[in-house]
């Protein structure tokens, strides 16, 4: 048996040791890989840069104009006078419409998610149609929701409601807080459904089995075991829906927002003012943009603080929930 290393594997001289090392070191610098990797990294950086620029621009410009007075005053009709203007009715209007929306969207969304996760057979046609409908709802443009609100809630439901109640003047058949909120509820329904479904699916099936094996009905299992576990996820969904709805202007344009209201909205049939809409008005209808700049930025900052605060709360809750459910294994 030949135990001697065949000559081709032996270095002929010390300079030939490079033949071994050559096999494990890169032949040449791979330029294109480096280049393209760098390009994608730059793309990421650019996007983050845009985000940072927008946020910084707003914070820097808006911070100086924000004050307690600003946030708590009801402005007169001239919004562009910095000394007397305020955004209280806009904050209240935004808050009200979002609260009313939540009252409608959370029950419907949660129940739909419960059906999809706990009761529906995944392969049945009706389940697939429901899921397709939810996906489609998520992709409808916001202005179309506005048209829907006008065409259905105001012109159909509202007008008929007025007829039913024998209202001489149009009370419900015109733009109102209720209709704007309902329109937003339809718009944010997919958000709540997806978030709830996610949290329901994260609950291990073993828990449901244990409950059923003890003689609980399916409904009891859902109400006593599944839903309490899913509650944080449901809250996350609700908060995400709220933060999205707070920033939307297009759906409320024809369904309830007003350019100017002398008093705060007090009734579901009232019109209301809105932070986002006010930003739009200030930006496009100001007679002197330089003068309006600080007010504009301050309003934007208030709106952003509202939506971001909510987003961050949602993210924190989501992280806590994930940790808690992981402990269940």
Per-residue contact track with another protein, 267 to 296, x per CB under 8 A? ---------x--xx--xx----x---x--x
Residue from the set 16, 78, 81, 209 that interacts with another protein by CB under 8 A: 209
Rg, Å, the chain Cα set: 29
- CA 128 vs CA 115, 116, 122, 302: distances in Å: 12, 10, 7, 41
Instruction: Give the separation between CA 123 and CA 201, rounded to whole angstroms.
Output: 17
Instruction: Please say which residue, 6 or 215, places its beta carbon nearer to another protein.
Output: 215
- Give one DSSP letter per residue of 224-256, joined into a string: IIIHHHHHHHHHHHHHHHHHHHHH--GGGTTTT
Q: Footprint of another protein on residues 106-145 (CB under 8 A)? A: 108, 111-112, 114-116, 119-121, 129-130, 132-145
CB of 3 to another protein, least distance (A): 32
Minimum Å distance from CB 15 to another protein? 26
Interface stretch with another protein, choices 3-11, 14-22, 45-53, 83-91 (CB under 8 A): 45-53
| Positions 49 through 68 that interact with another protein (CB under 8 A) | 50-51, 53-54, 57-58
Among 64, 160, 217, 291, interactor with another protein by CB under 8 A: 217
Cβ-contact 287, 226 below 8 angstroms? no
Is 268 strand, coil or helix? Answer: coil
Among 176, 180, 186, 273, binds another protein (CB under 8 A): 186
Q: Does 43 bind another protein (CB under 8 A)?
A: yes
Determine which residue in the list 210, 266, 316, 320 makes contact with another protein, applying CB under 8 A.
210
**DSSP string for 208-221:** HHHHHHTT--HHHH
In sequence order, the 6+-apart residues with CB closer than 8 A to the CB of 310 are 239, 240, 242, 243, 246
Instruction: Tell me which stretch binds another protein (CB under 8 A): 1-9, 14-22, 85-93, 188-196.
Output: 188-196
Of 88, 92, 95, 147, which lies in the binding site for another protein, with binding defined by CB under 8 A? 147
Answer for the pair 197, 113: CB distance below 8 angstroms, yes or no: yes
Among 66, 92, 152, 167, the residue binding another protein under the rule CB under 8 A is 152
The minimum distance between CB 133 and another protein, in angstroms, equals 4
Contact region for another protein (CB under 8 A) — 5-13, 65-73, 85-93, 152-160? 152-160
Tally of CB atoms within 10 A around 208: 17
Torsion of Cα atoms, 120 then 121 then 127 then 132, to 10°: 110
Report yes or no: 175 and 120 within 8 Å, Cβ to Cβ. no
Residues 231-270, interacting with another protein (CB under 8 A): 243-244, 246-250, 253-254
* Residue from 88, 40, 48 nearest 299 by CA: 88
* Shortest distance (Å) from residue 5 CB to another protein: 26
Q: Which is nearer to another protein, 17 or 155 (CB)?
A: 155
């Amino acid at each position: 048996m030949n135990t001697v290393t065949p000559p081709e594997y032996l270095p002929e001289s010390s300079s030939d040791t490079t033949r071994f090392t050559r096999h494990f070191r890169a032949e040449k610098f791979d330029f294109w890989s480096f280049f393209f990797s760098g390009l994608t990294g730059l793309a990421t950086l650019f996007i983050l840069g845009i985000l940072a620029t927008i946020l910084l621009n707003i914070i820097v410009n808006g911070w100086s104009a924000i004050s307690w007075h600003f946030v708590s005053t009801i402005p007169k009709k001239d919004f562009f006078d910095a000394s007397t203007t305020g955004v209280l009715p806009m904050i209240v209007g935004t808050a009200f419409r979002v609260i009313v929306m939540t009252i409608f969207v959370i029950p419907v969304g949660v129940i739909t998610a419960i059906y999809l996760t706990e009761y529906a057979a995944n392969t049945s046609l009706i389940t697939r149609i429901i899921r397709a409908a939810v996906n489609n709802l998520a992709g409808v443009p916001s202005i179309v929701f506005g048209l829907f609100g006008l065409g259905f809630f105001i012109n159909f439901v509202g007008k008929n409601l007025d007829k039913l109640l024998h209202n001489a003047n149009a009370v419900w058949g015109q733009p109102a807080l209720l209709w704007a909120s309902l329109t937003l509820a339809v718009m944010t329904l997919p958000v709540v459904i997806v978030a709830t479904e996610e949290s329901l699916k994260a609950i291990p099936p073993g828990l449901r089995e244990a409950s059923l094996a003890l003689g609980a009905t399916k409904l009891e299992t859902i109400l006593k075991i599944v839903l309490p576990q899913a509650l944080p996820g449901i809250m996350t969904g609700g908060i995400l829906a709220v933060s999205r709805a707070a920033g939307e202007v297009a759906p409320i344009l024809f369904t309830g927002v007003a350019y100017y209201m002398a008093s705060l909205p007090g009734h579901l049939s009232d019109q209301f003012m809105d932070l986002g809409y006010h930003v739009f008005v200030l930006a496009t209808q100001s007679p002197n943009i330089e003068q309006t700049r600080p007010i504009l930025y301050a309003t934007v900052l208030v709106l952003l603080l509202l939506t971001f605060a909510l987003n961050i709360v949602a993210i924190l809750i989501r992280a806590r929930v994930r940790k808690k459910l992981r402990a269940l294994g």
